[in-house]
Amino acid sequence: MSKIISAETTTRVGTQPRGKIIAYWSVTFLLAASVMLSGIGQLMKYGGNLELVTSLGYPSYVLTILGIWKVLGAIALVIPGFPRLKEWVHAGIFFLMTGAALSHAFANDYGDYGFYVILPLSYAVLNIASWGLRPKSRKL
């Protein structure tokens, strides 16, 4: 009987709480879906992306570069393995989203109710939550 209890205790210690895993995957899938859709929209120059980028003073080819990196980053977040790549993706998303918010703020282009600043910052918060909740298998 003691062998069964000790094996069960050992198994529980080695795994993460189920709620934390559910929270991680919920936040990570929401982040990956948001980044993926944003990247696809930028690649297609859909939904005012071209006007938005040119109004900030960036050249239109920036959309292609950002779109490709966003799509690849979203894929890298959800595939198994590659913990170092995931660290780079999280860093890239953080810099991308905070940079977008700052670009809009410095250009005095806040959008309705500050949407152009709040949306990228909310993605940055999702990114930090995903990074903070990641399981041990996704850590370096």
Tally the C-alpha atoms within 13 A of residue 84's C-alpha that lie toward its C-beta.
Answer: 0
Q: Residue 113: what pLDDT?
A: 86
Any idea where the domains of the chain sit in the sequence?
Answer: 18-138
What pLDDT tens digit does each residue of the chain (140 aa) get?
A: 555 555 554 455 457 788 999 999 999 999 999 999 999 999 999 888 999 899 899 999 999 999 999 999 999 999 998 999 999 999 999 999 999 999 999 999 888 888 999 999 999 999 999 999 998 888 88
User: Helix, strand or coil for residue 29?
Assistant: helix
Q: CA-CA distance, 44 to 105, in Å (whole number)?
A: 25
Q: In this structure, how many other beta carbons lie within 10 angstroms of the beta carbon of residue 36?
A: 18
Q: CA-CA distance, 119 to 137, in Å (whole number)?
A: 30
Q: CA-CA distance, 122 to 109, in Å (whole number)?
A: 17
Q: Residue 1: what pLDDT?
A: 54
Q: Residue 16: what pLDDT?
A: 74
